[in-house]
Amino acid sequence: MVVKDFDELKALGHDKVAGKIVLFNEIFDKQKAAGGMAFAAYGESVRYRGAGPKAAADLGAAAALVRSVGSADFRLPHTGFSFPAGIPAGAVAAEDAALIAHLAAEGKVRMHLTLTPQKLPDAISYNVIADLKGSEHPEQFVIVSGHLDSWDLGTGAIDDGAGVAVAMETAEILQRLHLRPKRTLRVIAWMDEESGGSGSQAYSKDYSADFIHTVGAIESDSGAAHPLGFAVKMSARASELLRPVLEILQSFGASALLPTSYPPGADIAAMAESGVPALSIMQDGRTYFHYHHTAADTLDKIVPSELRENAAAMAVMGYALANMKDPLPR
Ligand SMILES: [Zn+2]
């Protein structure tokens, strides 16, 4: 059964869906992505990868497939998290989804699925944390971060090797410039962002007492393209106090400040919810979903000069937060 959305699936009902393989053939809005709204386009499509298998299973489907999400079609499947559904689930490349949809419109289609993923037992792994100790308030923290893990189709260069490199480079830049911030700059490479966030959960458990002394948390997890500025979850008064920082960021086009109601960054979400001013670098997303979560997420997609701009953006913001006279108001 080929459906384009949840409503169409629901309208078919249990009798028509039971025992069938359901293909969610929702087409990614490439124009929206090309126009600078890539994350909105992603959000609209990725629902089917996340919740599609469960919706199909609830109507008795034998398996669920999703048309790969992405702003470019290279006949590559796009992977990522799905809610457990108890039935086999997979992604097919956009070109193959289109072919299956075409054939299904002509008549009955039979498919044989060979799905090889396995869920292995949990293993011990670690967040990697490094502190550049503050000179006046070592007990207060500014967190700069990215995540270590990736989907293993590619090498995870843009998601999120770039974020880890940028966070590490923030401390490196301050060292190289002989700048010693008043507060501690804490570099974190988070483990397990992609498969449930157990790394950031462990950090919350072990360090929740530090949240009150954490004056800001920054994450980079949207690739390595030119930084446009920051998405922020903080009070209006706090945003206002960042104005002088934005003037510096303006010199390389990274001065946009976009207030969000949701936490900007999965790994800093618990801190954001507890009131820590939270920021994520907002990269130009126009090509991010060409490669995201596919075998094409490799280092050659990263433009070194743009990666350096990201490191500069995080370093300027991280240093400002760590060196302000008073912490940002919550
Ligand atoms: Zn990521």
- The one-letter code for the residue type at 208 is S
Residue 222 Cα to ligand 1 midpoint, Å, equals 7
Asked if residues 229 and 255 have their Cβ atoms less than 8 Å apart, the reply is yes
**Which pLDDT score, from 0 to 100, does residue 117 have?**
83
Radius of gyration of the chain (CA): 22
3-state secondary structure of 24: strand
Place of tokens 């490479």: 189
Catalytic residue among 26, 193, 194, 309: 193
Share of the chain above pLDDT 70, in %: 100
Residue environment code for 190-205, b if the CB has 16+ CB neighbours within 10 A, otherwise e: bbbbbeebbbbebbbe
Q: How far is the CA of 220 from the centre of ligand 1 (A)?
A: 8
pLDDT in the model for residue 152: 87
Can you tell me whether residue 132 is helix, strand or coil?
strand
Per residue in 181-192, pLDDT (tens digit) is 999 999 999 999
- Please tell me the distance between residue 59's alpha carbon and the centre of ligand 1 in angstroms: 32
Q: For the domain 128-323, what is the CATH code?
A: 3.40.630.10
Going from the Cα of 283 to the center of ligand 1, the distance in angstroms, rounded, reads 13
Phi, psi of 49 (to 5 degrees): -70, -40
Whether 169 is catalytic is no
Q: Which CATH class is domain 2-106?
A: alpha beta
Task: Using the mean position of ligand 1's atoms as its centre, give its distance from the Cα of residue 17 in Å.
Answer: 34
**Mean pLDDT across the chain:** 96
pLDDT for 45-96, tens place per residue?
999 999 999 999 999 999 999 999 999 999 999 999 899 999 999 999 999 9
Any long-range contacts for 6-10 (C-beta under 8 Å, 24+ apart)? 6/47, 6/48, 6/51, 6/52, 6/55, 9/55, 9/56, 9/59, 10/55, 10/59
Q: How far is the CA of 160 from the centre of ligand 1 (A)?
A: 5
Report yes or no: 84 and 54 within 8 Å, Cβ to Cβ. Answer: yes
Would you say 186 and 141 are in contact if contact means Cβ atoms under 8 Å apart?
yes
Asked whether the predicted pLDDT for residue 118 surpasses 90, the reply is no
Please, which residues have CB within 8 angstroms of residue 290's CB and are 6 or more apart in sequence? Answer: 70, 71, 72, 74, 296
Instruction: Give domain limits for the chain.
Output: 2-106, 128-323
CA-to-CA distance for 59 and 15, rounded, in angstroms?
8
How many angstroms does the Cα of residue 183 sit away from the middle of ligand 1?
A: 27
pLDDT tens readout for residues 3-51? 999 999 999 999 999 999 999 999 999 999 999 999 999 999 999 999 9
CA of 194 to the centre of ligand 1 (A): 6
